[in-house]
Amino acid sequence: MDMNEKEKIEAQPAGEVKSELPDTKEGRLVKDLLERAPYAEGSVRRERRVEFKVPPERIHEFLELASEKFEMLMQISTVDWIKEGEFELVYQLWSVSESVHAFVRTRVPRENAKLPTVMDIWPVAETYEREAHEFFGIIFEGNPRLGPFILEPREYEKHPLRKDFNTLGHVKALYGEDFDRYDESKTNYVI
């Protein structure tokens, strides 16, 4: 199995990807969706796994189209690519009728990350967006319940799952400087 498949697809221009789609149920699904949404890029990853890349300003429009075939939104996974200065949001969709899982990827800049909510398409997105907001600080416009959810109110606005969150500094600030379970002078911790 070729693990660098994703990078190859990124290097190709969008026009060529369409012609390479295999004649399977996954290939037809991607082709149908790309014809109606030409701004997106799509590919078939393997059996029962397809992938789309969508610009962030058209994500709501694309997901509304996709929701006709993909009935369930399983999760919104956020990845902090700190070197590129971007958040990648992966909308994990599942199609009950076709038995296909789709990754819908979009990238937003890390500073003042904003996206439209998809609560109107899938009400369950409310929970996923609250989680992404709390742990990464992404603002979903239109979601009325953004705020402290899983974390304590004093930990809110710290966004602990960002890559630049200082775990040790936070623990020291919380429990005092004499917190000595971790010795900074030791470099070779064996976990």
Partner 1 sequence: MANVEVPRELKAEAKQHDMYLHPIDKDTYELFFGPQHMATENFSIILKMDGNRIEKAIVNPGFLHRGFEKLAEHRPYFTNIALILRICVPESDVPENIYSMAVDEIVGWEVPDRAIWIRNVVLEMARVAGWMFWIMGFGNEIGLYTAGQWAAAYRERFMRLYEELTGGRVYHIYTVPGGVRRDIPGDRWLRQLRDTVEYIKGKLKDFDEILFDNYITFERTEGVGVMDKRFALKHAVTGPNLRAVGVPYDVRKDDPYYLYDQLDFEVPVLKEGDSLARTLVRRYELEQDLYILEQLLDMGPPSGPYMVQDARLKALPRFKPPKGDAYAHVESTKGDFGAYIVSDGSHKPYRAHFRGPSQSHGVTVLEELLKGARIADVPVILKTLDNCPPDIDR
- Chain residues binding partner 1 by CB under 8 A are 1, 3-4, 6-7, 48-49, 71-75, 77-80, 90, 92, 94, 96, 99, 101, 103, 122-124, 126-128, 131, 149-152, 160-161, 165, 167, 190-191
CB of 48 to partner 1, least distance (A): 6
Nearer to partner 1, 17 or 74 (CB): 74
Cα separation, 34 vs 160, in Å, equals 36
Q: How far apart are CA 55 and CA 62, in angstroms?
A: 9
Buried b (16+ CB within 10 A) or exposed e, 158-189: ebeeeeeeeeeeeeeeeeeeeeeeeeeeeeee
- The C-alpha angle 133, 157, 90, rounded to 5 degrees, equals 25
> Please, what is the minimum distance in Å from the beta carbon of residue 143 to partner 1?
12
SS3 of 105, please? strand
Nearer to partner 1, 62 or 135 (CB): 135
| CB of residue 38 to partner 1, shortest distance in Å | 26
Q: How far is the CB of 58 from partner 1 (least distance, A)?
A: 22
For partner 1, which is the closer residue by CB, 61 or 71? Answer: 71
Task: Report the run of H or E that residue 91 belongs to, with start and end.
Answer: strand 86-95
Gap between the Cα atoms of 123 and 119, Å rounded: 5
Q: Which is nearer to partner 1, 61 or 98 (CB)?
A: 98
Shortest reach from residue 81's CB to partner 1, in Å: 9
